[in-house]
Structure formats: C-alpha cells, structure tokens
Amino acid sequence: MKLMVIGSGGREHAVIRKLKENPAVETIYALPGNGGIAADAVCVDVGAKDIEGAVRFAKENAIDFAVVTPDDPLVLGMVDALEAAGVPCFGPAKNAAVIEGSKVFSKDLMKKYGIPTASYEVFNDAAAALEYVWTAPLPTVVKADGLALGKGVLIAQTREEAVQAVRSIMEERKFGASGDQIVVEEFLTGPEVSVLAFTDGKTVKPMVSSMDHKRAHDNDEGLNTGGMGTVAPNPYYTKDIAEVCMRTIFQPTIDAMAAEGRPFKGCLYFGLMLTPDGPKVIEYNCRFGDPETQVVLPLMESDLLTAMMACRNGTLAETEVRFSEKSACCVILASSGYPEHYEKGYEITYDEGISAQVYVAGAKLEGGKLLTNGGRVLGVTAVADTLPAAIDAAYADVERVHFANAYHRRDIGRRALRALED
C-alpha cells in the first residue's frame, strides 16, 4: 500500500514509524515532512495546509490511504476534499474538526449533553466581556474561540490581567479572527491527563493515557510551549477514573457529535483535569497530540494502520486496539530560547548506541547534514518496564544527541514519579 501522511512534526514522525511496522505498507509519503522524517518516508514539497496540492498528489500517485494529522488542514476540510476525490482518509471531516476549531462550539456541546467541564460564558463583543471579567471569580480563564497555535488560553490571576487578556484577544486581535469570540471560564484545579482515543463515530477506544509538560522550564515555570516532554501512562489516571471518563465523557462526546450530525472519525484528544468534583474536560483536540503521540504510539502493540482504517470504515468495535503494560518517556530537545526567539541551522549529530526512538520535529537536510530548523527540534523516547526506568533511559540517550544551543527540561516525569510514590 502507498500511504500519505500530512504534517511535519515529531508527532508525524512517530505516526510514520508506527505505520511502517505493517508489512503491507510499501511507501509512505510525508507532505511536507522534514529532514529527519526523510529517513523513514519520502518527503514531498506540499505544505500541510495545501488542500489542492494534497488532493493532486494523492491522485497522481495512487495513494491508498491518507492520514491527516495537524489541526489546520483538518479544520480547513482536507479530509472532506480527499474523500471527495476518492482517497480514503484517517481524520475527522470539517464539520467534526470544529470540536477543536471552535471553543464556543465545544463548550456549547458539553453544556447541551451534560459532559463535565468548567462553567463558562461566551462573548462576541469586548465591552460585554470587559464588564463581565470585572465581577467574575479569580483566577479567570480567557480563551480565544479559534485555533491559536496552542497559545489562545490566558489565565488571569488579577482583574487587571483579566482585562488585559480580553483586550489583547478582542481589541488588539493577538490571534486574529480566532479572537472574534471568546470563552471566559471557571478556573479548575487538579492533575491534568491527556487521553487520545480512536473512534469511528460510534465506538471509542482510548489509547494509553499520558502526561504533557507544557511549560518551558523545570518545575513548570516559564512560558507555555507546544510541550517539552511526556510520559505514559499517566499515574493519576487510575482504572476507576478511566471507567468514569468512559461513562461520563468519552462515549457521551462521541454520541453527542453523532446526534449533532457531525460523527467524529479519527483520533479525538481529551485534555482532562481530575478535579475534586471528578474528571472534567479542559479541551478537545481533533487529532493526535504532540508530544503525547511520541509516548503513546511506541506503547501500541496492535497495528496502527488497521486501527486507522477501522476508524474510517466504521468497524472499530470489531478491531483490536492493544497497548503494552510498559512505560514510556519522551524528552523534547529544543532550540535554546524557544518558544520565543531562537537560532537555527546547527548540525545535529548522534552518538553510537542510542536505543531510544528519536522523532524529529524541526530539522532540514542540507548537503547531507541534518540541521536544526525549529523551536522543538526532536523528541527522545525510551520505553521500559517501569516509569523510572523509562525516564532514566530517555535522559541517558538525550546525552547522545548533540547540536549547538540545545535545551531540554531536566524534570520530565518527576511529577508522575511523585504520584506513584503517594
């Protein structure tokens, strides 16, 4: 089979590596991929948001199955366009991807179907929002409605910060049209858990849980990033909590989307907070998370392509989705300065003896050399029988990867270890 994977990050590299385990896969094309992905797939110079380009490439190259991974093309309707051209796809249609594309949509969906989430108000004009945040409980969470590269959530500790948050999104239009509407919501507390789930629109099969580390620096200090590392499973997510989530969140969400005439097929990402009042939804993403995918897929024992095709064909109930009992840890190596200003163009080299998986996110090939080309450069993922062993193994291999100006957090998994000790 000939496959095509849309995107260019560490997540896509992890997806491609896993897809390659299926012996029926002959060639994988990555649109556009990156210099590191080029070791595992044929990179094609078509941008991840170029819907026409993707359709043309798929037709010309007789692609048997396409995997659309990033949020932008999903929200723009790439799956609809590929399917209309006869190319079977893994990923939600545009009318279902709105679950990530519009926070107003997702909050209203949860309210209508009684799915636990933070209480909230929606505003489409700045004056009303400013008046509201003046009396809302603190801290106050202000969210831009649309996609904002994961930066559209502002947590205000004071009235002044809340006012500033509304102004920056609605008046200064920091996230452009994504801030035409905002959600102002209750601040929740508790450990966060990411759960990615396969779904065919009727059946939902959760993958192993994980824990992201979003802040740039150790002890969860510094700016929010795309994610500086992950561990799986997430020790806070016990069997009992998983059962509650299935009953009150996962299946109700899938059923709600179907009832709205927007069946969700693909990978639905549940960003959960385990609050004192039970698990609640912080956010939905219409896709695999990054770097969650870099710890989840290495623990998958059943076949990824089979599960993806079952999601598309509506046969997930009869399809095996199995994960190992082991643990995984992914440490992201970034360019120093990320998520703000950083330099790129430095050569990446590896020592002998790396046993971890290295998933490349921001790199390009030039004259046979792999050069840094982004904020998050690569992820180093180790799998072991226990979480402490996975963390040690990942950090041992981090020392075997070299590039100038490299930066990584030194405490990935520490909070998870504390939870295990409790």
Residues of this chain that interact with ligand AMP (CB under 6 A) are 118, 141, 150, 153, 155, 185-188, 192, 214, 271, 282-283
Cβ 285 to ligand AMP, closest distance in Å?
8
Calculated CA dihedral for residues 323, 72, 211, 406, nearest 10 degrees: 110
List, as one string, the DSSP characters of 194-235. Answer: EEEEEEESS-EEE---BEE--EEEGGGEEEE-S-SEEEES-T
- Between 88 and 150, name the residue whose CB sits nearer to ligand GLY: 150
Q: Which amino acid is at 359?
A: Y
CA-closest candidate to residue 251, choices 114, 67, 120 = 114
Return the one option of ligand GLY, ligand AMP, none that residue 40 interacts with (CB less than 5 to 8 A, by type): none
Matching residue, tokens 């824990």: 211
CB 248 within 8 A of CB 272: no
Cβ 171 to ligand AMP, closest distance in Å?
21
The angle formed by the CA atoms of residues 71, 210 and 320, to the nearest 5 degrees, is 80
Return the one option of ligand GLY, ligand AMP, none that residue 285 interacts with (CB less than 5 to 8 A, by type): ligand GLY
Return the one option of ligand GLY, ligand AMP, none that residue 289 interacts with (CB less than 5 to 8 A, by type): ligand GLY
CA-closest candidate to residue 100, choices 150, 140, 156 = 150
Strands 363-366 and 369-372: antiparallel
Cβ 139 to ligand AMP, closest distance in Å?
8
- Between 178 and 319, name the residue whose CB sits nearer to ligand AMP: 178
List, as one string, the DSSP characters of 297-351. Answer: GGGB-S-HHHHHHHHHHT-GGGS---B-S-EEEEEEEEETTTTS-----PBPEE-
- Between 10 and 263, name the residue whose CB sits nearer to ligand GLY: 10
Rounded to whole angstroms, the Cα distance separating 90 from 56 reads 18
Query: Residue 406 belongs to what H/E stretch?
Result: strand 406-407
- Between 96 and 118, name the residue whose CB sits nearer to ligand AMP: 118
Structural tokens at position 312 = 């598309």
- Between 100 and 200, name the residue whose CB sits nearer to ligand AMP: 100
Rounded to whole angstroms, the Cα distance separating 81 from 32 reads 18
Cβ 248 to ligand AMP, closest distance in Å?
17
Cβ 149 to ligand AMP, closest distance in Å?
10
- Between 178 and 372, name the residue whose CB sits nearer to ligand AMP: 178
Point out which residues bind ligand GLY (CB under 6 A).
Answer: 150, 212, 227, 285, 289-290, 292
Return the one option of ligand AMP, ligand GLY, none that residue 153 interacts with (CB less than 5 to 8 A, by type): ligand AMP
Return the one option of ligand GLY, ligand AMP, none that residue 307 interacts with (CB less than 5 to 8 A, by type): none
Return the one option of ligand GLY, ligand AMP, none that residue 185 interacts with (CB less than 5 to 8 A, by type): ligand AMP
Return the one option of ligand GLY, ligand AMP, none that residue 192 interacts with (CB less than 5 to 8 A, by type): ligand AMP
- Between 175 and 395, name the residue whose CB sits nearer to ligand AMP: 175
